[in-house]
Amino acid sequence: MATTVILDHPLIQHKISLLRDERTGTRDFRILVSEIAMLMGYEAMRDLPTELVEVKTPITTAQVPMLSGKKLAIVPILRAGLGMVDGILNLVPSAKVGHIGLYRDEVTHEPHEYFCKLPKGIEDRLVILPDPMLATGGSAIQAVQFIKDKGCNHIKFMCIIAAPEGLKALQQAHPDIDIYCGCLDEHLNEDAYIVPGLGDAGDRIFGTK
Ligand code: PRP
Ligand code: URA
């Protein structure tokens, strides 16, 4: 059963508020995005499967839980999703990393693909798909479709800020995926930017513009 979780942890909320502040510069913005991704990842991975494995402690031998199954894959949506990868990798350092390159047309707001490279055996992996912003939902919907087209159906989408419009569109297009949002904002403006939002996440992470 797929789930949508709005993370209401005070640490996540505090860090998102710092991100929103237009005075937050590139260095701090990057650090905050990474920290928020790690905190969100902790929550998103709470249902990872484990298996009992025998370990010899200095005291005795015991059956203890370890993560089971094929290593998961982190597939950020370029560019801004890249800013979340290190935070998630802190939790699962041996995860594979793929990339999906999409940019939003400034006029139509439609997503355009320019790159897609996924880890081998993607059909057997859990894919964590991070992108800080879910605005119209077009980019996330297309990225999820790419991954499904490669045979993978176990996908968790993770965004720092979502607009209600984008969340609804993603839920309708892909009702089978889990969605984790740091915060659900008010609405989109006429340029399809999230209000109050934080501006252009890619530009703020990479210091462009
Ligand atoms: C931003 C953001 C999402 C997308 C969200 O990327 O990182 O990928 O917009 O908008 P949507 O929900 O309406 O599709 P952008 O296209 O600006 O590219 P960038 O990450 O390279 O800046
Ligand atoms: N992409 C962003 O980076 N910010 C928004 O508010 C909407 C789309």
* Extents of the domains making up the chain: 4-206
The per-residue DSSP string of 178-198 comes to EEEEEEE-SEE-TTS-EESS-
- Measured CA to CA in angstroms, residue 36 lies from 15, 22, 158, 209 at distances of 7, 18, 11, 23
- Please name the residue ranges forming H helices in 4-161: 10-20, 26-44, 85-91, 138-149
The residue from 3, 26, 50, 108 that is catalytic is: 108
Q: Could you say which of 1.20.1250.20, 3.40.50.2020, 1.10.15.40, 3.50.50.60 is the CATH number of the domain covering 4-206?
A: 3.40.50.2020
In tens digits, the chain (209 residues) has pLDDT values of 899 999 999 999 999 999 999 999 999 999 999 999 999 999 999 999 999 999 999 999 999 999 998 889 999 999 999 999 999 999 999 999 999 999 989 899 999 999 999 999 999 999 999 999 999 999 999 999 999 999 999 999 999 999 999 999 999 999 999 999 999 999 999 999 999 999 999 999 999 98
What pTM value is reported for the model?
0.96
The rounded Å distance from CA 85 to ligand 1 centre is: 16
Whether 104 is catalytic is yes
Omega into 79 within 30° of 0, i.e. cis? yes
Rounded to whole angstroms, how far apart are CA atoms 77 and 209? 20
